[in-house]
Chain A
Amino acid sequence: NAGVTQTPKFRILKIGQSMTLQCAQDMNHNYMYWYRQDPGMGLKLIYYSVGAGITDKGEVPNGYNVSRSTTEDFPLRLELAAPSQTSVYFCASSYMGAQLAGAHEQYFGPGTRLTVT
């Protein structure tokens, strides 16, 4: 299994440009998440999805959009990039069973380092 994959690894955007960060997982996980991590800081949840067709906002959703058309893919769209969106973006996935029981450790992708200038 490849686990969680993210593309691209690095990207430089100009202010006002748009782009999509790709995330895919091959573990048949139903939950997927997007986080951003600013330098020296913790993780902030942007959006998450509990299954195909279902997404919800996290702590810092402004300036981003997501979609989840399949179990495997969870792309993150940045519209009108701003310098404040310079960060490292991590995608993660986990499996949530019936009755919300069990362990929900998250599996993380390698990250996308984004710079907006």
Chain B
Amino acid sequence: ELKVEQNPLFLSMQEGKNYTIYCNYSTTSDRLYWYRQDPGKSLESLFVLLSNGAVKQEGRLMASLDTKARLSTLHITAAVHDLSATYFCAVDSTSGTYKYIFGTGTRLKVLA
């Protein structure tokens, strides 16, 4: 069964600090996605990682993928208040019936 786990579930951090969110998944997949959800809003796509070793960066966020370890990280550099949101990773699997599974989400709060 495809499972996607994130940690931490909650993260409160000071502005200017660095931190990493982890996403572990349980099955073979070369594709991993990161989404952002602001409070009361919908989800928007942040990054699409399509191969082992893929790294994508946008502003203060950098995502990477290690398919051998079945692990993706979302690194936050010098956090600012505007990054406060819930971040979800997701994995899809084409083995057998197609599946697209979201992680539990990490609720990030950046304190001024």
Binding site for B on A (CB under 8 A): 33, 40-43, 45, 48, 50, 56, 90, 92, 94, 96, 100, 102-111
Q: Please tell me if B45 contacts chain A, counting CB pairs below 8 Å.
A: yes
Q: A42-B88, A42-B103, A43-B88 are in contact. Are A107 and B45 (CB under 8 A)?
A: yes
- Besides A45-B101, A104-B33, A111-B42, 15 other A-B contacts (C-beta < 8 A): A42-B88, A42-B103, A43-B88, A56-B97, A100-B98, A103-B31, A103-B33, A104-B31, A104-B92, A105-B33, A105-B48, A106-B90, A106-B100, A108-B44, A111-B41
Contact A42 B102 (CB under 8 A): yes
Q: Please tell me if B43 contacts chain A, counting CB pairs below 8 Å.
A: yes
> In the complex, A107→B44 CA distance in Å?
7
Question: What are the residues of chain B within 8 A of A50 when measuring CB–CB?
Answer: 98
Question: What are the residues of chain A within 8 A of B107 when measuring CB–CB?
Answer: 40
